[in-house]
Amino acid sequence: MILHELMQFDTLRIIWWALLGFLLIGFALTDGFDMGVGVLLPFIGKNDVERRIAINTIGPVWEGNQVWFILGGGTIFAAWPPLYAVSFSGFYLAMFLALAALILRPVAFKYRSKRESKIWRSSWDWALFVGSLVPALVFGIAIGNVLQGVPFHLTDDLRAIYEGSFLGLLNPFALSVGLTSVAMVVMHGAAWLGVKAEGVIAQRAAQCGEKAALVVIALYALNGLWLAFMVEGFALVDPHVPNGPSNPLLSEVTQTSSWLLAYAERPWIAIAPVLGFAGAIMANRGLKARREISTLLASKLSIIGMISSVGLTIFPFVLPSNIDPKSSLSIWDSSSSHLTLFVMLISTAIFMPLILCYTAWVYKVLWGKVTEDDITKPGSTHY
């Protein structure tokens, strides 16, 4: 009976929608604190040793954390081909900018301490700052544009035509969401440094993190009000055809007065923004009180709530079109085939637990604070 239910096309679509959200949240929870530390680096490290300590709190794990980003992109490609086609072509320059910054980060990690020159190391420190700031900002801007709808339409043969521009992505609402994303990773990076660093580095990080958490709360509230009163939402006119074909042009879509009508239809989804606000408030108080583990957990809770609120608010859409609502992509009409989703689910059921167990083991082995003695002792292999 359970296998029969899992074999249902719509059930697989919901599972893969949830898995995509899980992977994006996993990326934000792990690589998010990496980016946060990178953004904080020029402000918490007043000399080379202090900056090296900050870098080494993320040095052993940043590569593994980026696996979540690769898995998320792979899931979009394999499970939601139209979403991949429209977003990666329409957001091409933005994606290129983010990927270039992500490529800059590992180069900065690897080359930063190869020479003793202050100019050399300072340059790579700023490269690490840019390589952390830009992806966080770009990903937030992308989410802001998704919430407003993207200017694309589908031809009769389902070919996606994007009619926007790079500068069009940099609209006020999207930039506000982008800044929220940056503040979120700074808050998360500060919480991570509270766990992994000590002394003045942890103190400076906490001071920055406190302010970042307040910015998160303010911008998240502002974005919610903006979304409620100034951004139109989308809705399916008729109930979708159960287990129907993946053809967006068969669905009737209309624009509504606000995305927040979803909270009247499904009141339970309000738990997501509540967690977003509550986590940020607790993170702010934890950073102020210099608590460690509980603050990091609160920061994670806030990230889970904020990202979940986006997916739950626009459900069942994954990419609405603001110039041709009929072309909007929903989970019911833009997935891969039934067989593809099922075979990938079996593979995921095998390999995802292995990835999670290995990740947990790595963090367990590398747990503990990074100290000055760790990186200055003779024979040290730290960054």
Residue range 242-284, pLDDT digits in tens: 888 888 888 888 888 889 889 999 999 999 999 999 999 999 9
Asked if pLDDT for residue 207 goes beyond 90, the answer is yes
Q: Which residues pair with 255 in a beta bridge?
A: 234
**Average pLDDT in the 318-328 region?**
92
- Three-state DSSP state, 344: helix
Q: What pLDDT sits at residue 366?
A: 82
DSSP assignment letter at 239: P
Asked if pLDDT for residue 6 goes beyond 70, the answer is no
* Tokens of residue 344, six digits: 């990938």
**Average pLDDT in the 211-232 region?**
95
Give the Cα-Cα-Cα angle 180, 125, 144 (nearest 5 degrees).
Answer: 20
pLDDT-wise least confident of 12-16, 127-131, 251-255? 251-255
Asked if pLDDT for residue 337 goes beyond 80, the answer is yes
- 152 touches 162 (CB < 8 A): yes
pLDDT band at 380 (very low <50, low <70, confident <90, very high): low
**Average pLDDT in the 111-121 region?**
86
**Average pLDDT in the 17-40 region?**
93
Tens digit of pLDDT for each residue in 55-104?
989 988 888 888 888 888 888 989 999 999 888 888 888 889 999 998 98
H runs (alpha helix) in the chain: 2-6, 9-44, 48-58, 62-65, 67-79, 81-90, 92-111, 118-148, 166-169, 172-196, 199-229, 262-265, 271-289, 293-314, 338-365, 372-376
Residue of 268 and 113 predicted with greater confidence: 268
Residue 182 is which amino acid?
A: V
Q: Which residues pair with 150 in a beta bridge?
A: 321
Q: What pLDDT sits at residue 87?
A: 86
pLDDT band at 166 (very low <50, low <70, confident <90, very high): confident
The DSSP line for 146-176 is HHH-BSEEE-TT--EEE---HHHH--HHHHH
Can you give the pTM of this predicted structure?
Answer: 0.92
Please, what is the average pLDDT of the chain? 90
Question: Residue length, the chain?
Answer: 383
Q: What pLDDT sits at residue 150?
A: 92
Q: What pLDDT sits at residue 382?
A: 65
Q: What pLDDT sits at residue 252?
A: 87
Asked if pLDDT for residue 160 goes beyond 90, the answer is no
Tell me the range of 43-47, 102-106, 308-312 where mean pLDDT is highest. Answer: 308-312
Percent of the chain with pLDDT over 90: 53
- 42 touches 90 (CB < 8 A): no
Asked if pLDDT for residue 365 goes beyond 70, the answer is yes
Q: What pLDDT sits at residue 66?
A: 85
The DSSP line for 57-68 is HHTTTHHHHTHH
Asked if pLDDT for residue 153 goes beyond 60, the answer is yes
